Amino acid sequence: MTYVTGSHHVTLSVGHAQEDVDFHTKILGLRFIKKTVLYDGSAPVYHLYYSNANGDPSSVVTTFPWAQAGLYGTRGTNQAREVMLSVPERSLDFWASRLTEHGVECTPGDVFGSRRLNFRHPSGIEYVMVATAGDPREGFTGNGVAAEYAIHGIHGIGVHVYDQDRMVEFGNEVFFANGEIEEEGDRARFRVGEAAFGNFVELTGNRTDPQGTWRYGAGAYHHFAWNLDTLENQNEVKFDIEGAGYTDISELKDRTYFKSHYVRTPGGALFELAVTHNEGGWDCDESPEELGRAFMLPPRFEHERDSIMSRLEPLDS
Ligand SMILES: [Fe+2]
């Protein structure tokens, strides 16, 4: 039995908002589906969401642009590092040309039998496109990238760790590792849950970088969310994780579009356990056609709308 169906979204701390929107929509061609704010803490910071054509769980990248608040992070070990995206099998030449045209340096790779393209977000965060055959998740074509090249969704999460063993133990014992551990060079990977795509955890041995930051700060990966099927099962998974001794797991947080617990893993990556509940979904406050156009706030922040908007950096999206 497994309650994790696959990935849900990736969340990053990036630099400035406009630069982030332009990178994800004008270069990567993703769909801008939600413009809101960070719900935790008192600093007004955007929360921006991007996805494939249909906003599928397992296709969403979200960002907090922290440069406005002057907060910067450090990429290092014992931290989530690479944003891994699944792209059509024969699209990497297209992407190499497109990235280069936009001034984004990229380098090819070949790991675990798949061709890859490595590049960086303007804030420095590492991105990897992985050529994937047969991925049925529909890429978004509305921002000028044809369907034969468009990003299907998430491929997985890259984590840099002092020692892979503790993270493998976590996956095997409490977090629905599915199938064998594969190893290649300094890397190991496993899959989580039953999904056919988008659920790789790739661990890179790294004993040379300093410890990466876990707090918010531009230029660092913040967390990776997994998709669970029901709120009841989510509660049961939390109970079991605590029962295994990983008691640093959060209370249930209402993120409007989904409800989540967060747990710090022994590899340093923060995992989120997300459920898109009956009242949630990207279209719970905007029509499916109008996603991302308006600035959305949860009801509890609505009375502060003018004040919040006046403290956010301008954004032409
Ligand atoms: Fe999240």
Instruction: Please give the distance, rounded to the nearest whole angstrom, from the Cα atom of residue 46 to the centre of ligand 1.
Output: 13
Domain boundaries, the chain: 4-311
Instruction: Please give the distance, rounded to the nearest whole angstrom, from the Cα atom of residue 262 to the centre of ligand 1.
Output: 9
Instruction: Please give the distance, rounded to the nearest whole angstrom, from the Cα atom of residue 57 to the centre of ligand 1.
Output: 12
Instruction: Please give the distance, rounded to the nearest whole angstrom, from the Cα atom of residue 184 to the centre of ligand 1.
Output: 29
For the stretch 112-171, pLDDT in tens is: 999 999 999 999 999 999 999 999 999 999 999 999 999 999 999 999 999 999 999 999
Q: What is the mean pLDDT of residues 267-288?
A: 95
Instruction: Please give the distance, rounded to the nearest whole angstrom, from the Cα atom of residue 275 to the centre of ligand 1.
Output: 11
Instruction: Please give the distance, rounded to the nearest whole angstrom, from the Cα atom of residue 11 to the centre of ligand 1.
Output: 5
Residue 2 has pLDDT above 80, yes or no: no
Topology (CATH level 3) of domain 4-311:
2,3-Dihydroxybiphenyl 1,2-Dioxygenase; domain 1 (3.10.180)
Average pLDDT, the chain: 96
pLDDT score at 242: 97
For the stretch 82-101, pLDDT in tens is: 999 999 999 999 999 999 99
Instruction: Please give the distance, rounded to the nearest whole angstrom, from the Cα atom of residue 116 to the centre of ligand 1.
Output: 25
User: Could you tell me which residues are beta bridge partners of residue 47?
Assistant: 36
pLDDT score at 276: 95
Instruction: Please give the distance, rounded to the nearest whole angstrom, from the Cα atom of residue 100 to the centre of ligand 1.
Output: 30
For residue 15, the tally of other CB atoms under 10 A from its CB is: 21
pLDDT score at 1: 58
Instruction: Please give the distance, rounded to the nearest whole angstrom, from the Cα atom of residue 156 to the centre of ligand 1.
Output: 14
pLDDT score at 317: 78
Q: What is the mean pLDDT of residues 266-279?
A: 96
Rounded Cα–Cα distance for residues 275 and 67 (Å): 30
pTM listed for this prediction: 0.97
Structure tokens at 168: 């493998």
Q: Of 244, 112, 130, give the one whose Cα is nearest residue 176.
A: 244
Instruction: Please give the distance, rounded to the nearest whole angstrom, from the Cα atom of residue 101 to the centre of ligand 1.
Output: 31
Q: Which region, left, alpha or beta, applies to residue 100 given φ > 0 means left and ψ of -120 to 50 means alpha?
A: alpha
For the stretch 196-230, pLDDT in tens is: 999 999 999 999 999 999 999 999 999 999 999 99
Instruction: Please give the distance, rounded to the nearest whole angstrom, from the Cα atom of residue 149 to the centre of ligand 1.
Output: 26
Instruction: Please give the distance, rounded to the nearest whole angstrom, from the Cα atom of residue 252 to the centre of ligand 1.
Output: 12
Neighbours of ion ligand 1 (CB under 5 A): 11, 225, 272
Q: Which region, left, alpha or beta, applies to residue 282 given φ > 0 means left and ψ of -120 to 50 means alpha?
A: alpha
Percent of the chain topping pLDDT 70: 99
pLDDT band with cut points at 50, 70 and 90 for residue 52 = very high
Instruction: Please give the distance, rounded to the nearest whole angstrom, from the Cα atom of residue 267 to the centre of ligand 1.
Output: 18
For the stretch 8-35, pLDDT in tens is: 999 999 999 999 999 999 999 999 999 9
pLDDT score at 140: 98
pLDDT score at 179: 84
Rounded Cα–Cα distance for residues 312 and 14 (Å): 15
